[in-house]
Amino acid sequence: MLCRESLAPRGAIIACHWRHPVREYPLSGDEVHAILETVPDLQATVTHLEEDFILSVLEPPPASSVARATGLI
């Protein structure tokens, strides 16, 4: 998938999509995020879900917590 191929080695994808129907959009926001979660070599490290939107952060594994990555734990 092009989004993964374009990503820097330790880069992250931040995706935020509207969850209500939009006639002009071929996919819903939920469908887009479901597809992103199937991209090989990416894992969702953050997902925020509200009635109006979904926001996800996807990173290459092994993704670690901010505290672990910065040596706090």
pLDDT for residue 72: 87
Rg (CA), the chain: 14
Structure confidence by residue, pLDDT tens digits, 9-67: 888 999 999 999 999 999 999 999 999 999 988 999 999 999 999 999 999 888 777 78
Output the pTM of the full model: 0.80
How many domains would you assign to the chain?
A: 1
Contact by Cβ (8 Å): 13, 7 = yes
Structural domain containing residue 21: 2-69
Provide the CATH number for the domain around residue 47.
Answer: 3.40.50.150
Q: Which of 50, 46, 47 is nearest to 18 (CA)?
A: 50
